[in-house]
Amino acid sequence: MARSTSVDPSRIAAFLVFADLPATELDELAGAMSEVEVEADTNVLTLDDYGTAIYFIEQGEAAVLTDGGEEAKALGPGDTFGEIALLLTGQRTATVAARTPMRLISLSGQDFERIRARVPELERSLRRLGLERAGR
């Protein structure tokens, strides 16, 4: 996975999870995020690994895999993954594998902690998403 820094706020404003964020939080968030390029057939996260980042799919497709390697869900542009480990459990609850080359926007746990107090709506939004998914 190749990383680059600096994400324009307009790129993240397109994600549904950020729809209700005030402009000041979007700017703060964009400054803490980085772009990640992933090759096809690469595991982006692995079940039970320690979760260190949340990912937002800008381009490409991925599969959420079960313990047995079966595809449980397809992910694509606009989807988010990794929030459960980052905010709730600390451990990855699934494996996510890139089916195509992907461009992701990521927020590391370390950067999230650094900006957390300045982005209260972000935390509420991500926590709602994580609780909804964890309850399935």
pLDDT computed for residue 34 by the predictor: 93
Name the more confident of 57 and 18. 57
Start-to-end CA distance of the chain, whole Å, equals 30
What's the pLDDT band for 71 if we cut at 50, 70, 90? confident
pLDDT computed for residue 75 by the predictor: 95
Show me where the domains of the chain are located.
Answer: 2-134
Q: What number of residues does the chain have? A: 136
Query: Could you tell me how far CA 69 lies from the centroid of its own chain?
Result: 21
The residues facing 4 across adjacent strands are 35
Secondary structure class of 36 (helix, strand, coil): strand
What's the pLDDT band for 82 if we cut at 50, 70, 90? confident
Secondary structure class of 127 (helix, strand, coil): helix
Helix (H) or strand (E) holding 112: helix 109-115
Fold held by 2-134:
Jelly Rolls (2.60.120)
